[in-house]
Amino acid sequence: MDLDECRRRLRPLLRPATVCFVISDGAILLGLKKRGLGEGLWNGPGGKVEDGESIELAAIRETQEEMCIVPRNLRATAVLDFYFPDVPMDLGWNQRAHIFMASEYEGKPVETDEMAPKWFPLDKIPFDRMWEDDEYWLPAMLKGNFVNAEFVFDANQRMGEYAVRLD
């Protein structure tokens, strides 16, 4: 299914999700995903928004659950639509991810059942061990752009068609 078809058929069904990137002292805090979607890849903490929960509170909760820190002064930095047309809908992989950045946090990053945290210098982000889409939007976000993007992935989590817009 191409991007236009995904927009028509899957956009109304996207599940709201969050990702939070903590940036401090010229480094970005990433977590090695230990299970589930994206297992074995570096990413920011995040996940689904629970019923009745705001998107910002979901980002804080997920960061706290996955890395044992509380991000402060979140700033919305991107909205990314992820389409997996070859994956059964009930798995919930089709999602609209609301991306946040925080430069302050409370606590110390700790490994959990979900993620193993590690700081990376901003000039040494491990794009070769992250989702393929990250290199197309994350650098622009780090430069201060608000990013709107859409990505189509196959059942093997390989990226196909995409569109990135900077605001």
Task: For residue range 2-11, list pLDDT tens digits in order.
Answer: 999 999 999 9
| Closest C-alpha among 91, 165, 163, 100 to residue 133 | 163
pLDDT number for residue 132: 97
Work out the mean pLDDT of the chain and round it to a whole number.
Answer: 96
C-beta neighbour count of 66 within 10 angstroms: 26
38 secondary structure, DSSP code: T
Q: Find the mean pLDDT for residues 23-35.
A: 97
| CA 112 to chain centroid | 18
pLDDT number for residue 16: 97
pLDDT number for residue 7: 96
Scanning 10-144, the segments in alpha helix (DSSP H) are 55-67, 134-142
- Using CB atoms within 10 A of its CB, is residue 41 exposed (0-12), middle (13-18) or buried (19+)? middle
59: left (phi over 0), alpha (psi -120 to 50) or beta: alpha
Residues 6+ apart with CB under 8 A from 5: 85
Q: Report, in angstroms and rounded to the nearest whole number, the Rg of the chain calculated over CA atoms.
A: 15
pLDDT number for residue 24: 96
Task: For residue range 38-81, list pLDDT tens digits in order.
Answer: 999 999 999 999 999 999 999 999 999 999 999 999 999 999 99
Q: Find the mean pLDDT for residues 104-128.
A: 98
C-beta neighbour count of 13 within 10 angstroms: 11
pLDDT number for residue 41: 97
